[in-house]
Chains A and B, each alone.
Chain A
């Protein structure tokens, strides 16, 4: 007999795929919260999935696939734990043994077990203030969605080996410092949830798409998945609703950002017929739900700005004064360089190029030397004021800072030609 593994049936294959996609974070959250050790939990769960790939095609699908995976992962952890027991002090040992045994509950239930959803704890660990802000998003993508380090590294423009090291360091810190797998107290809640929201937002990439033309980090659907997980875990948190609404509004315009020839189309000129209606409607409903809480916040405001843009699909024109007002409000809540630049862009679009330039000049120059959106907006505002030479230089600098080829082409086409000497 050859050593070929059995070829899984379509049904088996699909089930494994589905459990891996929907259940990975859920299962990891349970295992990790008992052991405080993300790396160990990942290994155990990884082995459980391997076992599933080997055994399910032969033995058939278990009645409760997630519980099956969980009990395999638990056995693996028990073995690992016993192997190292001698090196640990007995108190910790007993504690961990008890915790591991608690996972076994699902193993013994006669009926279909209900797997608790502990992913919120996982999110709070990933976005813990003791974790470097730069690694919070990658950590979330890896432990909640199961993305591999290489994929995350590419999206964040980091060498895969470096990203791998950062993730390992973060997990070591969680274990060594005993960062707790728990839901924060009420007093800490607003700040702690903000860290989660920011980390998810960072996965989407730039929110200033109307200014930069950048199409995000390439992880937009993963960011939306994370936001959906969060909304499902905290359905009454207005800022979580706001974040998901924001991402869905941006996502709805995905296919309108390029024309048929692949050229970049700025938001205000996009064909609204190409916008994805179901996504826009979902976003509007979420934003409405958030507004009933009467607690304003940064992400609701950003979603409201995108909602105002979306309204052009109904009215046929963009209400720039409303957008200008919303940006001013946003800057009061969450001042940022990106926010100031986007505010200036809205001022320019509403016909006030001088006010746009004045706004841009309030930003410290050393922070924007290589910040593409700043130069793109400066170029457009200068062009609006017929300051052609300065505008040309700004367009060229903006193009030089652009990664996306279509956007670069767009900027160089907008660039006013050099005056011919007589």
Chain B
């Protein structure tokens, strides 16, 4: 079964990417992603740039409307994701709990829709 593990970080987490703790923060993420790869379960994944770099598109009455920023201004924003192949939800939750942002932001786990082919 394939699950999406979605990492949500706070603004402080995003700011720390370039602060004095940047190296420690990167090290924690590198270790974590490295362990997922080593377990042989990683199907895809990537980190994301901060929400301030986002743009959101909507069709309103047939007209394209482009907005600066993420779709919703929330306390925690999507910071990255991985797709993992694991037998069941509990295993995906265990990997989610190891994410460095689990203590500051949160981690969402969602089963993906199985592909038809």
Which A positions have Cβ atoms within 8 angstroms of B?
157-159, 162, 369-370, 396-397, 399-403, 405, 408-409, 412
Contact = CB atoms under 8 A, between A and B. Distances in A.
Contacts of A158: 89-90, 93
A400 B94 CA distance: 12
Contact of B32 (A157, A159, A162, A400): A400
B94 A157 contact: yes
Nearest to B38: A397
Secondary structure call for the B interface: helix
A402 B102 CA distance: 11
Contact of B35 (A159, A162, A401, A405): A401
B59 interface: no
Interface stretch (B3-11, B22-30, B72-80): B22-30
B87 to A, nearest CB: 13
11 contacts: A158-B90, A159-B89, A162-B89, A370-B39, A396-B30, A397-B34, A397-B35, A400-B30, A400-B38, A403-B98, A412-B28
Contacts of B34: 396-397, 400
Contacts of A402: 98
Nearest to B88: A162
Contact of B31 (A369, A396, A405): A396
A400 B35 contact: yes
Nearest to B41: A370
B103 A412 contact: no
Interface residues of B, number: 22
B103 A405 contact: yes
Contacts of B27: 396, 399, 412
Contacts of A157: 90, 93-94, 97
B33 interface: yes
Given A409-B24, A412-B24, A397 B93 contact: no
Given A162-B89, A412-B28, A400 B102 contact: no
B36 interface: yes
A379 to B, nearest CB: 11
A408 B97 contact: no
B100 interface: yes
A245 to B, nearest CB: 30
Given A157-B97, A158-B93, A399-B31, 13 more contacts: A158-B89, A158-B90, A159-B89, A369-B38, A399-B32, A400-B33, A400-B36, A400-B38, A403-B97, A403-B102, A408-B28, A408-B31, A408-B100
Interface in B62-88: none
Nearest to B35: A400
Nearest to B40: A369
Contacts of B39: 369-370
Enumerate the 4 nearest inter-chain pairs by beta-carbon distance, A residue then B residue, closest first.
A400-B35, A400-B31, A399-B31, A400-B32
